[in-house]
Every structure is written in structure tokens, then in C-alpha cells.
Structure 1
């Protein structure tokens, strides 16, 4: 059998998925043990025990200054900002994507504008956001919106333009008006794509969030990472990076499950 036609079984799929992670942990453990053997005070590659102790303090010991459990308060602050940013970006991207993708009169001004806006590096406008919206939560949320919404809008516009014109002709023949076309023909096609696009943009959204928190915040995962870096606290930084990765993966998994549940046909499932 040719290699291109070989399919892993259920157990083999799990093993292949975990293999890179196992190898990464193994390589890190060997490198960390070698450095700590030469210098027990080395902070560059802390041991797994050191990281577990540090995360235990962050998660289960109240901070003496604030009284908060820092890991959970940082996680809550970041997830609230991320959720608001992605929610507003999804709604904005859907509205502009439908408008530009379905209505030619709106496409003429909107499509070039969305193309130009999507090319602006979001981090380059972060100082402007701080000046306009201040250093509080709004500027961080708006950075996510500005970074994600134009990409979503362009993707949804393209998907809307790919809908066969025959569907619009048939719907109008049956008496559908423009509003009915959007609700009954366009949205069912685009909502599934919106969830897929959100999954693809999760990494960028986290990047924008961490960048904003690193510059101006009093709580959040990005704030904590850049706060402890001055102490070379790799035993906190590395677990925080792993925690952010896990949260992003869980969000991706949740969006994929939601897509399968609401739109089983989108991945070839049974309706």
C-alpha cells in the first residue's frame, strides 16, 4: 500500500498526536537536568518540579498584596478581554462580510476599504488606541477587534461571493426579498465559515491580547509574563505559556465542536 493511502487507527491517531509533545518534554527534561547538574541555581531551564511548585503558588496561594489567586485572576481577566474582542470582531466581520459579499452597491466602497484596513499591522496602531481609548480595558479589546474583524470580513465576503447565483435566482423567483435572502440563503452558508475563521484567528487574537497586556495592564496572563521576566522567573513564564496554549486549544476544540453540532454538513457529517 502506498504511504499516501495509509490511515492510522484510533489508537494510532492518539499516539501520533501525543508523540511530538512527549518528545518535546523528554528533550526539555534532558536539557534541564544537564544544566541543573552543572549549576543548581540556573534559571534558564528550570526543572519540572520547580515549575510545578511555582504554579502551585500561583494557583493555590493567595497573593499577599492583593489577596487574589494570581493564576485564576490573570486567566479570568485575559479571557474576558479575549471573549469581548472576538465577539465584537465576529459580529462586525459578519455584518461587513455579508454586506460586501451580497450587495454589489455596498461591495464597491466596502471591499477596497476592508482590504486596506486588513493590511494595517494592528500592533502598529496600539499606541493610537491607548491615546484614543485610554489605558483601560477598551483599548485592549479594540486591538483584538481591529486585528481580527477585517480578516473575518474579507473571508466571509469571499465565501458569500462563492454562493451559486442559482440559489439567489430561485429564492427571488419564489418571492424572497433582500432581507429574506440574507437570512435564509446567505447566513446558513456563512455561519459555519465564521466559526472556522474564528478558529484560524485564535492565535492572532491571543498575540494581540498578550501584546496589549504586556504594555498596559494590572492583571492578565500577558501582564504576568512580562512582570516576572525582570526576575528571570522562567519557572513561572514557561508554565504560563503552556497554560495559554492549553486555553487556546480548548477554545479551538470548543469552536470545532460547536460547528459540528450546529452545522454537521460542514464537515461531511449527517444532517
Structure 2
């Protein structure tokens, strides 16, 4: 049997997915133990016990200055910014992507502009955003939107543009207007692709969020990571990075579940 034809089952896939992570954790524990055997005060590779102790403090001990539980306050602040940016980007991508993909005049008018914006590095716009919107929440959310929206629009518009022409002709033959073509023909087929585009945008959205929080914020996951780096507090940085990864995985899983439940026909096709 050829290697490309071997398809592991659900249990086998789960075990195979866990193996690299377990191997990485095992290598880290060995390296940490080796460094601490030479230098018990080493801060570069903290022991698992040190990380658990630091995270326990951040999770369950209120900050003496603010009275907040640091990890949960940072997580809530970051998720609020992220979800707001994702929600605005998704709604905008739905409307603009549908118009660009379905209406040639709109595509000719705004297509080049969307392409130009998509090619601009969003981080380069961060100083401009801070100048225009200040150091508050608006600039952080806008960076997420500018970073992921043009790419989502291009992805969705390209998908709508490749819908079978026969469907459009049949609908028009039956008397469908442009609005009905958009709502009854293009929109249902576009929605699974929109969720897929949102899943692909999660990674870049986290990058833009952490970048904005690192520069101008007083709370958030990115703010905390860049705050403690000056003290070489790897016992906080590494768990925070792992926590961000877990949050990203959870959001991706929820989107995948929603796509499978709402549009089961898209997965089967």
C-alpha cells in the first residue's frame, strides 16, 4: 500500500497529533533540568514547577495595585479587542466580498484598492493609527481590521466570482433580481468560505493584537508578555504564550464546529 493512501482513524490521528507535542515538552523538561543542575538560579528555561507557581499567583492571587486577577483580566481585555476586530472584519468581508465577487462594476471600481491595502504591511500603519485614533482601544481594533479584512475580502470575492455561471443564468431566467441573486444564490454558498477565511485570519489577528498591546496598553496578554520580559520572567512568558495558543485553538475549534453544524453540505462536498 502506498503511503499516500494510508488514512489514520480518529483515535490514531489523535495519538499522532499528541506525539510531537509530548516530545517537545519532554525535550524542554530535560533541557530545563540540565540547566538548573548547573545553575539553580537559571531564568531562561524555568522548571515546570516554577511556571505552575507563577501562573497560580496570576490566576488566583489579586494584584495588590489593581485588585484584579491578572491572567483573567488580561485574557478578557485581549479577547474583547480580538473578537470586536474579528466581528467587524467578518461583517465587512461578507458585504464587500459579496459585492466585489458578484457585481463586475463594483469589482472594477474597488478591486484594485482592496488589493493595494492588502499588500501594505499592517504593522507599518500602527504609528499612523495611534496618531489618528490615540492610544485607546480604537487603534488596537483598527489594526486587527486593517490587517485581516482586505485578505478576507479578496478570498470571499474570489470564491463568489467562481460560482457556476449556470446557476446565475438559471436564476435570472426565473426572474431573479440582482438582490435575489446575492441573497438566494451567492450568499448561502459564500458563508462556509467566509468562516474558512475567518479561521485563516485568526493567526494574523493574534499577531496584530499582541503587537498593538505591546506598544500601547496597560492590560492584555501582549502587554503582560512585554512588561515582564525586562525581568527575564520566562516563568510567566512561556505559560502566557501557551495560553494564547490554547485560546487560538479553542476559537478555531468553535469556528470549525459552527461551520460543520451550520453548513454540513459544504464539508461533504
Superposition TM-score, scaled by structure 2 size: 0.99
Per-residue Cα deviation, 1:201-252 (whole angstroms, up to 9, x for no partner): 1110000000000000010000000000111000000000000000000000
- How far apart, in 2, do the equivalents of 1:88 and 1:25 lie? 37
Partner of 2:130: 130
Partner of 2:89: 89
Per-residue Cα deviation, 1:123-168 (whole angstroms, up to 9, x for no partner): 0000000000110000000000000110000001100110011111
- How far apart, in 2, do the equivalents of 1:173 and 1:247 lie? 48
How far apart are 1:96 and its partner, in Å? 1.4
Partner of 2:168: 168
How far apart are 1:93 and its partner, in Å? 1.4
- How far apart, in 2, do the equivalents of 1:23 and 1:198 lie? 31
1:68 aligns with 2:68: yes
How far apart are 1:36 and its partner, in Å? 0.5
1:219 aligns with 2:219: yes
- How far apart, in 1, do the equivalents of 2:242 and 2:265 lie? 33
Partner of 1:235: 235
- How far apart, in 1, do the equivalents of 2:102 and 2:225 lie? 44
- How far apart, in 1, do the equivalents of 2:10 and 2:169 lie? 45
How far apart are 1:9 and its partner, in Å? 2.6
- How far apart, in 2, do the equivalents of 1:95 and 1:150 lie? 12
- How far apart, in 1, do the equivalents of 2:212 and 2:104 lie? 37
- How far apart, in 2, do the equivalents of 1:66 and 1:236 lie? 19
Q: Is the 8 A contact 1:144 1:209 kept in 2?
A: yes
- How far apart, in 1, do the equivalents of 2:11 and 2:96 lie? 44
1:54 aligns with 2:61: no
How far apart are 1:263 and its partner, in Å? 0.4
- How far apart, in 2, do the equivalents of 1:93 and 1:2 lie? 42
Instruction: In structure 2, list runs of 5 or more residues that go unmatched.
Output: none
Equivalences for residues 112-191 of structure 1 within 5 A:
112-191=112-191
Which runs of structure 1 show a deviation greater than 2 angstroms over 4 or more consecutive aligned residues?
Answer: none
Partner of 1:249: 249
Deviates more, 1:10-19 or 1:49-58: 10-19
Partner of 1:266: 266
- How far apart, in 2, do the equivalents of 1:244 and 1:182 lie? 37
- How far apart, in 2, do the equivalents of 1:187 and 1:8 lie? 35
| Count of equivalent residues | 269
How far apart are 1:175 and its partner, in Å? 1.3
